[in-house]
Copies of this chain bind each other. A is one copy, B any other.
Amino acid sequence: MKRLTGAQAWYGTAETCPDLQYLSGFAAVDPALLVAHRKRAVLIVPAMEVSRANRAARSARMRVYVHSPAGIVPADRARASRPEDWIIAAMNKLGAREVAVPADFPVGIALALRRKGVKMTVADAGLVPSRRTKTPAEVRKIAEVQRATAAAMCAAVKTIAASESGPGGKLRYAGRPLTAEAIKQTIERELATRRCQASRTIVACGNQAADPHETGHGPLRAGQAIVIDIFPRHRESGYWGDMTRTVARGPVAGKLKQLYAAVLAAQRAALAMVKAGAAVRSIHRAAARIMEQHGWPTEIRNNRRVGFIHGTGHGVGLEIHEAPSLRDAPGRLRAGDVITIEPGLYYPGLGGVRIEDTVLVTREGYKMLASCPKRFEV
């Protein structure tokens, strides 16, 4: 962003605009508007949210004045007023003459501001760079979610480990077929008791696991890799956790064991490289190289990319995917980053393996926020 003399504006809910929650302390259900200038900000929320927002703003990172739309524009114009009018009123109140908005700001409001003569610029990068570096209080919140994630993972793995192979290799548990849906339910119940919830838990078995974003469905089978990826959000704090394990209810073919061993070696090597100052590109390339050296290439087969087809990790905070991104790109880790390390290999016909932990980057290396055993055959 070029101009720091003007105000900055955000628009959205706790889901769509984590910066707004980060700065104001307020988890908006309906879209809210935040206009900040130096250390002061105006937060505009629906009338019925004003008192809740006022309470939340007490712990904000700046002095926040909460208003309803009718409370910020002159009474006679309140009814027909629109978000651009509220922003202009807030800018006047804060003494700002121009405004910068993030790239994902709604184009409709942004262009309406320009039509009203406001100098509006779009920030090149995020307006809140400090969100990447977590405070100790934030790390505690992420660790709390990650402990819940680990507990849910343990419950899931325990159930699979206690299952038996039935007709056609389909797993059975407590006298009934064991499905991806049943394991997801186990996970969600465990998370619910810890004030967390996950919306797209992955329990993908066999060929389903070869597609890293297939969430998985139907019967789980013996001898196949089952990828379990749990990324819940805490209901109150809004922070996320993220963990993946891959297990199989044995016996497992040698080839699948080798696939697992390659990913585990890559994850260990990548974790060992994590520390403040490390180049994200070298971590990503090291993970890729180790899996390649184990005999698992990344390439196009039948018009589809197979092998290590995603990045090595990403930042975790008020967004499940945030800076930094660990891939073949410039940039270095910093102390205070909370990141995942999650190499994976995917081959249709054979299956998929991914192993993921969420760690705090420190000057010396990293701190694991919570863990759970890495055992393939259970």
Contacts and interface: CB of A to CB of B under 8 A. Distances in A.
Contacts of A214: 51-52
Contacts of A192: 185, 188-189, 192
A213 B104 CA distance: 26
Interface of A: 15-16, 29-30, 46-52, 101-111, 122, 181, 185, 188-189, 192-193, 195, 197, 199-200, 211-214, 235, 304-305, 309-310, 321, 346
Given A104-B106, A107-B101, A122-B111, A211 B47 contact: no
25 contacts: A15-B15, A15-B16, A16-B16, A29-B200, A46-B213, A47-B305, A48-B211, A48-B213, A48-B346, A51-B211, A51-B214, A51-B304, A52-B211, A52-B214, A104-B108, A105-B106, A105-B107, A105-B108, A106-B107, A107-B110, A107-B122, A181-B195, A185-B192, A188-B192, A199-B235
A58 B105 CA distance: 32
Contacts of A105: 106-108
Contacts of A48: 211-213, 305, 309-310, 346
Contacts of A188: 192, 197
Contact of A213 (B52, B235, B310): B52
B185 A193 contact: yes
Nearest to A31: B104
A77 to B, nearest CB: 17
A2 B333 CA distance: 48
A305 to B, nearest CB: 6
Nearest to A328: B79
A309 B49 CA distance: 11
A101 B110 CA distance: 13
